Amino acid sequence: MLAGKTVLLIIGGGIAAYKSLDLIRRLKERGARVRVVMTAAAQHFVTPLAAGALSHEPVFTELFDRAAEQDIGHIRLAREADLVILAPATADRMARMATGFAEDLAGAVLLAARVPVLVAPAMNPAMWAHPATRRSVATLKADGIAFIGPMAGAMAERGEEGLGRMAEPTEIAEAAEALLAAGGALAGKHVLVTSGPTHEPIDPVRYIANRSSGKQGHAIAAAAARAGARVTLVSGPVNLPDPAGVEVRRVETAREMLAAVEAALPADAAVFAAAVADWRVAAEAGQKLKKDGNAIPPLALTENPDILAGIARRVAGRPRLVIGFAAETQNVIAHAQAKLARKGCDWILANDVSQDGGDQSGIPGGVMGADRNAVHLVSAAGVEDWPTASKAEVARRLVDRIAEALDRQETLGRQENP
Ligand SMILES: Cc1cc2nc3c(=O)[nH]c(=O)nc-3n(C[C@H](O)[C@H](O)[C@H](O)COP(=O)(O)O)c2cc1C
């Protein structure tokens, strides 16, 4: 996902420019804000009006634009983006780019950009194969510019075929996501997340469960993946799609969740967002319990393994950062502080599930299943009250904090062991 990211799309003057209009939509549906720059040649193929209507933003075409220079400026245009995409990249543009020309807005922006740049070339196969283009591409690659395509296939020119087609908009959007993730704050880290409820069987058809929807845990896994982490999500039974780019292990019971968590270690950080059942039925019936005339079966319970404490108290293979969740209905902070000490984890994210989660349902426990969450981050350093926000926003904030904490540990480690 490109949620919250700004992509600056530079449309060049090739016949494939029409595909870049679709690329605007593909980027926006992934959550990106898209700003468009069009070259003079591009405007022979598609109009700024179409690009503006699709991006919902003004389109920039002129370097010497007084209004834009006062308000935006070509340098700011480059700096305010998280990623620049050049699509289609013409042979001419790549040659100018490799030389460092900045005679128009696209050139100036490309030269001023300090963020990742993704180039999607599109041209006739003879132009692509020409030694001059080969030199441009080699120079740009050495400068750290990322490429997607060109692809093989039929050309716009009648009867011509070969290497030179622009990559499809979906492929370019996916490459953009991968490029941003690779440079993300959690690149190279493994993050383990648990999510959802557990189901503890009574007999083959009945089980004990809780109201957890898995929305918060899944949002954390998705946010960690967007930040470039390798993410393993161990999920109890939920009604949610698998987050993109995340390895999902599905489990039913607490014991299965523990086994999947142990199998997924080592991890740099572990976030235990699942609402694991504290107890399970001591003797699960092998056959469905029958009502007819029998006495009501007593449900003797036994304790489930404590996954959070078990991992947090490990001596070998403990993730560097272990984070638990506490769903409380009263004395939220006091209970969370006690849980932090009892479990031996680094942080507890505590929420008051007696509130309705902002879904206006008024149902106690409404946070479970709602889309918003009000949490407190409880650690040895103190208590932080986070404002009520969407579960996606809470996840983003938590992931930023995880990245900061891991970075800090690495810096301290380097200083201690020079
Ligand atoms: C009909 C037509 C189609 C063109 N298609 C391409 C193309 O696919 N790839 C390319 O590199 N140049 C193509 N060109 C040439 C470019 O438009 C030209 O080199 C221009 O200077 C590129 O400028 P820009 O990169 O600033 O947009 C085409 C030209 C015309 C007239």
Mean pLDDT for 99-115 is 93
- Of the residues 92, 111, 157, which should be mutated to test ligand 1's pocket, given the most ligand atoms within 8 Å of the CB? 92
Determine the atom of ligand 1 nearest the C-alpha atom of 90.
Answer: 11
Determine the atom of ligand 1 nearest the C-alpha atom of 91.
Answer: 11
- Of the residues 90, 130, 133, 140, which should be mutated to test ligand 1's pocket, given the most ligand atoms within 8 Å of the CB? 90
- Residue 12 CB partners (closer than 8 Å, separation 6+): 39, 41, 42, 86, 87, 88, 89, 90, 93, 106
Q: Whose CA is nearest to atom 4 of ligand 1?
A: 14
**Confidence grade of residue 144 (pLDDT, cut at 50, 70, 90):** confident
Q: Whose CA is nearest to atom 1 of ligand 1?
A: 15
d(Cα 166, Cα 177) in Å, to the nearest integer?
A: 18
Least confident of 98-112, 225-239, 369-383, 390-404: 369-383
Residue type, 167: A
Average confidence score pLDDT of the chain: 90
Q: Whose CA is nearest to atom 26 of ligand 1?
A: 39
Cβ count near 208 (within 10 Å) = 17
Determine the atom of ligand 1 nearest the C-alpha atom of 104.
Answer: 26
Two structure tokens written together for 85: 């995409």
Ligand-binding annotation for 296, yes or no, is no
Widest Cα–Cα separation across the chain: 90
Report whether pLDDT(178) > 90.
no
pLDDT score, position 153: 79
Given phi > 0 = left and psi -120 to 50 = alpha, else beta, which region is 90? beta
- Superfamily of chain region 6-182: Flavin prenyltransferase-like (3.40.50.1950)
pLDDT in tens, 358-388: 444 344 445 666 777 889 999 999 999 998 8
**Confidence grade of residue 416 (pLDDT, cut at 50, 70, 90):** low
| CATH number of the 190-416 domain | 3.40.50.10300
Domain ranges of the chain: 6-182, 190-416
- CA 214 to centroid of ligand 1, rounded, Å: 50
Least confident of 241-250, 294-303, 365-374: 365-374
Report whether pLDDT(108) > 70.
yes
Ligand-binding annotation for 325, yes or no, is yes
Determine the atom of ligand 1 nearest the C-alpha atom of 123.
Answer: 9
Residues lining ligand 1, judged by CB closer than 6 Å?
Answer: 12-16, 39, 41-42, 90-93, 122-123, 127
- CA 64 to centroid of ligand 1, rounded, Å: 22
Least confident of 71-75, 95-99, 246-250: 71-75
Report whether pLDDT(109) > 80.
yes
Beta bridge partners of 323: 271, 347
pLDDT score, position 361: 39
Residue type, 367: V
Contact 219, 296 (CB under 8 A): no
> Higher model confidence: residue 354 or residue 271?
271
